[in-house]
Amino acid sequence: MPFFISAVRRGIPGCLAGAVLMSCAISQQQEVELGATTAAEVSAQLPLIKDAAVVSYINTLGTQLAQATDTRDLDWTFTVVDSREVNAFALPGGWVYVNRGLIERATDMSELAGVIAHEIGHVTLRHSVQQLQQAQGANAGLVVLCTMTKVCESGVSQAAINVGGSALFAKFSRTDEAEADAEAVATTVKAGITPRGIPAMFRLLLSERQSNPSALDAFFASHPLEESRITATEALIAKYQAAQLNRLTKDTQAFQTFRRRLLALPPSPATKAP
């Protein structure tokens, strides 16, 4: 049995027994178990950066953001994936992953914070869990599989996760993206960080797509990004008073030290084609 389906069947037994899942609410405990199982699989299949200073910084920044918005007291874990591709993704229950390639492209702390806050938003809004809850009967396992990975496109029997991370948690709707963006704006402000890094990062990624499209395939596959997301985010930011925004943090020494440390690490392993 493919890994994810067996994991889901173990994790949510009551749901799969019924013909219709609409009424099957996935508890927080089940959500965390699903996330933990999937996180173990991610650890086995993706190259993760173990450098203590890198792990410490990403968790300090991530926790600062999560604590500003999480009302469910989840146990958050933030991880840097050793991939030159640009990507970020989250698993249910509080596991957030950011590729080294995205961090190295960020120019200041607020740009990375915006991406992390967006992924936190997917978790706190339970976007993946909702997709699972809306699935029916035996298809539930496949929905999780397809939501989290691209194995549906490559054959369920070959549940290999793409090193670039494009495989994971790909299929959010534009509505989900807009909601996660709005969460990211609110969360960064609550955490004392300027939300202006969010549209700034979008602009950076859109302009890089022109010059180096393949490095961004994974990110754009999982996060539909158009000019409209930039204008929508800027409109949300414009609702805050300029004086308040100007008091928020844009960059820190700690971020620049962290970024330099990543740049100095050995090159990322070569990635498979998506």
Binding site for Zn ion (CB under 5 A): 172, 177, 180, 223
CB of 249 to Zn ion, least distance (A): 23
SS3 at position 141: helix
CB of 18 to Zn ion, least distance (A): 30
CB of 47 to Zn ion, least distance (A): 22
Helix ranges (H only) for 98-241 are 100-105, 109-124, 127-133, 139-148, 151-154, 174-190, 197-211, 217-222, 227-238
Question: What are the distances in angstroms from CA 254 to CA 29, 68, 69, 122, 193?
Answer: 34, 20, 22, 26, 14
Which residue minimizes CB distance to Zn ion?
223
Helices 109-124 and 253-264, interaxial angle, to 10°?
90
On whether the CB atoms of residues 159 and 3 are closer than 8 A, the answer is yes
Of 61 and 96, CB closest to Zn ion: 96
Of 100 and 223, CB closest to Zn ion: 223
CB of 90 to Zn ion, least distance (A): 8
On whether the CB atoms of residues 113 and 196 are closer than 8 A, the answer is no
Of 76 and 172, CB closest to Zn ion: 172
Of 55 and 125, CB closest to Zn ion: 125
CB of 223 to Zn ion, least distance (A): 4
The sign one gets for the Cα dihedral 7, 2, 163, 124 is negative
Of 11 and 101, CB closest to Zn ion: 101
